Amino acid sequence: MKRFAAIFITCIVLMSSCIKIDSPRPRSFTRTVLFYLACDGNNLQWYAENDLANLVRGYLPFRTNKDEAMLVFLDSGDGQPALRRYYGSSEGTVYEELVKYYDTGFNSADADNLRRVLDDVEYYYPSEHRGLILWSHGTGWLPPGYYSNPREAKNSVSKSFAMEAGSEIDIRDLADALTRHYEFILFDSCLMSTVEVAYQLRNKTDYIIASCAEVLVDGFPYGSICEDFFNDHTAKGPSALKDICQKYYDYYNAQTGVSRTATVSLIDCSQLETLAAVCNRIYHAHKTDMSNVNPSLVQHYYTNNKHWFYDLTDYIRQFATESELSELKAAMDRCVPFKQATEWILGVVQVRTHSGFSTYIPISNATYLNEYYKTLDWTKDTGAL
């Protein structure tokens, strides 16, 4: 989920500051970034528009630049959902290029519709290098409806990412919808830095940026990070993506009270299978010990008694040997090249340790949840349950 900030943010009417032009013709680009904002039928519309306004006030590729394209899909419930391109000029003018309208009833929290948008991006702006920002509510790896109502989960269509009309995108369906490879995926959504989510998407992207805990509705500081999206991440490695994480952390760490809340991780997906192999060996050596772990002793990231998000390393620390922990640390250092966390989450959860990943500690009587958990790639490859 995304949490409301204590201070009301005035909705900014973005379009009045843009010059609109006709729809594009397909042509190739070197690098495209898609900002996918799913906020129709939920409580985030104003904040989405604010983040979009901040984005276009920052760096934008120039109108004459054929190598870079900043694309935005917005489904806010205010008018038709649409895909647009934004670019600037040396004089500071912002141009808004309508790419495509979608039907008024278009559900952006449907995996097939997400795939439609991604296909349209590739048709109009075919590109060698791609980045993707997924902006909405999020509940990590959890199955249909579990976060909001575990008792009714079996009958719910609510899932793991985005929210519209009671439906969301299951993390397994999200992986299937990503039919092309992305240099990075940034989740501007709560609770998405779970090892289960990252592992499900390991073959879809080079890097993931996400939070173990809740993300405040202000989201990422787009005005200062947009240029970092367009760095050559293949040639330069994760340095620009580390800058995005650092700017996010610095922004929230400078706040006060409950607004001083941030956890952020940069995940190198090429290292996830090595991490899974390490965890597989540890888990299979300690099956009995795992079932005896007291969750109250493990660092958690959840609020409101949502007991499904615990620190991965701190969990394994409860039963692994020193040599196993040394091997785990080496794998985690390679897999999570950047991580930061404020001392408190929303003023109620103290962060005494932060590995960059959360995970599920199986609950013995949670039959439905455990059966779903067994379908995830992470569980299959590690024996986590």
Residue ending a domain, choose from 233, 268, 303: 268
pLDDT along the chain (385 residues), means of 10: 39 48 72 90 76 90 81 87 91 90 89 96 94 92 71 49 68 95 96 97 98 94 94 74 97 97 98 98 97 97 90 98 98 98 96 98 91 96 97
Query: Do 94 and 234 belong to one domain?
Result: yes
CATH code of the domain containing 261: 3.40.50.11970
Query: Do 183 and 296 belong to one domain?
Result: no
Model pLDDT, residue 159: 44
Residue ending a domain, choose from 238, 268, 298: 268
Query: Do 230 and 288 belong to one domain?
Result: no
Q: Taking a C-beta distance cutoff of 8 angstroms, is the pair 172, 199 a contact?
A: no
Model pLDDT, residue 142: 85
Query: Do 90 and 201 belong to one domain?
Result: yes
Range of the domain at 124: 17-268
3-state secondary structure of 191: coil
Q: Is residue 216 in a domain?
A: yes
Q: Is residue 10 in a domain?
A: no
Query: Do 222 and 118 belong to one domain?
Result: yes
Question: How long is the chain?
Answer: 385
Query: Do 86 and 208 belong to one domain?
Result: yes
Query: Do 249 and 305 belong to one domain?
Result: no
Model pLDDT, residue 307: 87
Q: Is residue 9 in a domain?
A: no
Q: Is residue 6 in a domain?
A: no
Q: Is residue 127 in a domain?
A: yes
Residue ending a domain, choose from 221, 239, 268: 268
Q: Is residue 5 in a domain?
A: no
Model pLDDT, residue 130: 96
3-state secondary structure of 199: helix
What global pTM score does this model have?
Answer: 0.91
Query: Do 87 and 218 belong to one domain?
Result: yes
Distance of CA 257 to the CA centre of its chain: 24
Query: Do 209 and 356 belong to one domain?
Result: no
Phi-psi region of 16 (alpha: psi -120 to 50; beta: other; left: phi over 0): alpha
How many domains, the chain?
Answer: 2
Q: Is residue 122 in a domain?
A: yes
3-state secondary structure of 144: coil
Q: How far apart are the first and last CA of the chain?
A: 26
Query: Do 175 and 304 belong to one domain?
Result: no
Q: Is residue 12 in a domain?
A: no
3-state secondary structure of 268: strand
3-state secondary structure of 232: coil
Query: Do 95 and 190 belong to one domain?
Result: yes
Query: Do 25 and 168 belong to one domain?
Result: yes
Model pLDDT, residue 305: 82
